Amino acid sequence: MEDELYGVLGVAKNAASDEIRKAYRALAKKYHPDLNPGDAEAEETFKKVQTAYGILSDEEKRRRYDAGEIDAQGNESQRGYYREYASADGENPYHSSAGFDDFSDMFSDLFRAGGPGSQGGERANIRMRGGDVRYSMEISLLEAVNGAKKRVTMPDGKSLDITVPPGQRDGQMLRLRGQGMPGLGGGDAGDAYVEVRVAPHKIFHRRGNNIHLDLPIALNEAVLGAKVRVPTAGGAVTMTIPVGSNSGDTLRLKGKGVAAGKERAAGDQIVTLRVVLPEDPDEELTSFVEGWATDHPYDPRAEMEGYEDAQ
């Protein structure tokens, strides 16, 4: 049919070049195999769109197609002949990859165009990069802080070993080159992108590269000072609580935060003290405090005077 290629692109036979190009772009995006994985019909339509545009985008090929000298595949029609258009070595000049420059522009991040077309009536070969795949993986806060080795199962059932670098943040993406969808026609495989979700921790909280921890201490440790064991992201360490410590006081453990990276120094652990009284009533403590308070009166809210009636 003389207007077959125009029908593939959905344009009139007298359509301008810009109109043909616009129609081609829309159809190529709609039926691209990466956007329709496993859809054989979409892939076949995509190939037809390529072939149609390869001929109609070339002024000379379009003229010969309109004149009936070549068919919808770019082959010489029965009533036509090669004339001066055939190459010296007998190759069919209407199966090269010429005319697809803008196709490569649109999908340069998805595939690479192949070499010259094959002889005879075969279609041009296209080397197409495989599609990228995405996956979400949950890790613990300690794995994010210190780095970890993880094995995940991708949506297609393939297992991958992943190295999580130290300092990984919630929502960051890991790129696994060549682990996506296989390419077509010998094209490179796509990439796999793994979104890392960091689960909350019961006692540690990350702020930037520092790790924060609320540390309960006993009354005697606050008053008299003490050496206590403190959990950190890298394991427990001994820390000195100064004499006369109060709830809300903060202490810093240098280098005990997020592990160091290539361009990042190790963070610190910030420890906030919380004085905790005994849960069970203690008559001896009560009696002592009553006597002590009588002999040593002080007002911890003195700085708040004048604000009692603040609205």
Q: How confident is the model at residue 104 (pLDDT cuts 50, 70, 90)?
A: very low
Within this chain, domains 4-106 and 204-301 share the same CATH topology: no
Q: Tell me the pLDDT tens digit for each residue of 45-89.
A: 888 888 888 889 888 888 888 888 888 877 765 544 333 333 334
Q: Tell me the pLDDT tens digit for each residue of 223-279.
A: 999 999 999 999 999 999 999 999 999 999 999 998 877 777 889 999 999 999 988
User: Which class would CATH give 204-301?
Assistant: mainly beta
Domain boundaries, the chain: 4-106, 133-198, 204-301
User: Which class would CATH give 133-198?
Assistant: mainly beta
Higher pLDDT, 29 or 272: 272
Q: How many CB atoms lie within 10 A of CB 271?
A: 24
**CA diameter of the chain:** 120
Do the beta carbons of residue 176 and residue 191 sit within 8 Å?
yes
Higher pLDDT, 167 or 301: 167
Higher pLDDT, 5 or 113: 5
Query: Does domain 4-106 sit in CATH 1.10.287.110?
Result: yes
Q: How confident is the model at residue 125 (pLDDT cuts 50, 70, 90)?
A: low
The pLDDT of 98-106, averaged and rounded, is 45
Q: Tell me the pLDDT tens digit for each residue of 184-209.
A: 888 888 888 888 999 999 999 999 88
